[in-house]
Amino acid sequence: MIAETVGFWVMAVVLVGGSLGVVLTPNLFHAAVLYLPAALVATGAIFWLLESPFLFGVQLLLYAGGVVTVVVFAIMLTERLVGASIRQGSRFVFNGAVLAAALFVGVVGFIVQRAAPPAPPAPAGEQMVALGRALVGPFGAALQLLAVLLVAALLGALYFARAED
Amino acid sequence: MPLPAYLILAALVFAIGLFGVLTRRNAVGILLGIELMLNAVNINLVAFARFRADIGGLIFTMLTIAITVAEVAVGLAIVIAIFRVRRTIEADHLDLLRG
């Protein structure tokens, strides 16, 4: 229990710090290769703390692996085209901060009003089996639709980013 | 840790992502802010799945992660296509549809 508490606070600090780095650093490349992966890996570690090690793996593979790679490719392509390092300015900082803080305060106010449910005992060991059964059972249609969506998205990305000729 | 701790952390990350979406000038920076917001939602889903002992939240998280990857691929392809035409990805300069 104490390990979970310590892990939660460490990961919370890394996650919030990484997130702030993503939205505040002036160098877009640092945001993409340093702060975003830190935030995403910390999120995966929080999935692990919530007893979902499989989602930790999915998060590492798809987010920290795939998304970061694609973002870095996009930045390199646009910087290569313009031939200079892209500045990453911010605007409306005060308005954005007020709106984000108001949203945070509102959501937290709603959360603390509600009594926390007691944590049920963790289902031991069979999470992978349950996930697999759910994915081919009640969620089978969603899985197939996801496959269609991925193919459509990849074809769409290919179409948008193809070379003009 | 109790459930509200995870929910408040997720709300904080969501607010930070919203701040990034609202304030970034660069289209790629806006996409990174959207990533953070989606990430915060995933924390919420997994936390509820854990504390309600329901597998549905985990399935939902897997689906949203995959959908996010597709969204990033298409979004960045659009950014590259816009950059080819306009030579900029500053969101303020992309006002072709303004009347």
Are the beta carbons of A142 and B60 closer than 8 angstroms? no
Q: For the ranges A35-39, A65-69, A89-93, B37-41, which has the lowest average pLDDT?
A: A89-93
* Average pLDDT of the residues in B63-89: 85
**What digits encode the pLDDT tens for the residues A102-159?**
999 999 888 888 776 676 666 656 778 888 888 888 899 999 999 999 999 989 888 8
Are the beta carbons of A10 and B8 closer than 8 angstroms? no
Report residue A17's pLDDT band, with 50, 70 and 90 as the boundaries: very high
Q: What is the DSSP string of A25-44?
A: -SBHHHIIIIIHHHHHHHHH
Of residues B97 and B48, the one with the higher pLDDT is B48
For residue A23, which residues of chain B lie inside 8 Å, CB to CB?
16-17, 19-20, 23-24, 29, 32-33, 36
- Domain spanning A2-122 has what CATH number? 1.20.120.1200
B1–A99: do the CB atoms touch at under 8 Å?
A: no
Task: State the helix-helix crossing angle for A36-49 and A68-82, rounded to 10 degrees.
Answer: 170
A50–B6: do the CB atoms touch at under 8 Å?
A: yes
The domain limits of chain A are 2-122
Listed residue (A103, A125, A100, A46) closest to B3, CA to CA: A46
- State how far the Cα of B99 lies from the Cα of B97, in Å rounded to an integer: 6
For residue B50, which residues of chain A lie inside 8 Å, CB to CB?
50-52, 119, 122
Which pair of tokens denotes residue A41?
A: 């890996």
A46–B63: do the CB atoms touch at under 8 Å?
A: no
The ipTM estimated for the assembled molecules is 0.88
* Average pLDDT of the residues in B53-74: 88
Residue type, B65: I
B52–A96: do the CB atoms touch at under 8 Å?
A: no
Report residue A81's pLDDT band, with 50, 70 and 90 as the boundaries: low
Of residues A35 and B88, the one with the higher pLDDT is A35
Task: State the helix-helix crossing angle for B56-86 and A127-136, rounded to 10 degrees.
Answer: 70
B1–A81: do the CB atoms touch at under 8 Å?
A: no
